[in-house]
Amino acid sequence: MFEFFRLWLLVVTSTMAAVGVVAVLIVGTPLFSVVGALFDRPFWGRRPDSTTQAFQSWAYSVTFATMAGWGLCLAVIVANAFSSREAWVWWSIAASVALWFPLDTGRSLLHKVYANAALNIALLVILAIPLIGTFGEFH
């Protein structure tokens, strides 16, 4: 089961990196409009003006770039060090998830961006299952 969970984490973290890169590339284009609408609605209720759209493009781009970097970092750890079963590897991944989730989800809920909170919950579950499944291998 260990290798199954390692591959699961590798696919998830690599997907996080890829989604982050693609999102940076499509922010501000019609392709992003569906996703953007989920985030616009709680704040503007409609499509924001051009100045706000420019700010959003920057804010979304740096947010997705951070997601790409985090996903890549996790993928490299999973691809190279996870099999060592050293405790620091598991704790590095778990700690980064434990830091990200309440901060991101809490602020999303505070600002009523429920779509992002729902995505976060789904990602938390997808990451938690293999982390829980491999906990004993690292301790």
Q: What is the mean pLDDT of the chain?
A: 94
Please tell me the predicted confidence (pLDDT) of residue 61: 95
Cα 92 from Cα 98, distance rounded (Å): 10
Question: Is residue 45 over pLDDT 80?
Answer: no
Output the pTM of the full model: 0.89
Of the listed ranges 26-40, 71-85, 86-100, 124-138, the least confidently predicted one is 26-40
Could you tell me if residue 28 is left (phi over 0), alpha (psi between -120 and 50 degrees) or otherwise beta?
left
Please tell me the predicted confidence (pLDDT) of residue 40: 81
pLDDT in tens, 49-99: 889 889 989 999 999 999 999 999 999 999 999 999 999 999 999 999 999
Question: Is residue 47 over pLDDT 80?
Answer: no
Of 50, 19, 51, residue with least CA distance to 35: 19
**Rg value, the chain, Cα:** 17
Q: How many CA atoms lie within 13 A of 54 on its CB side?
A: 2
Domain ranges of the chain: 2-138
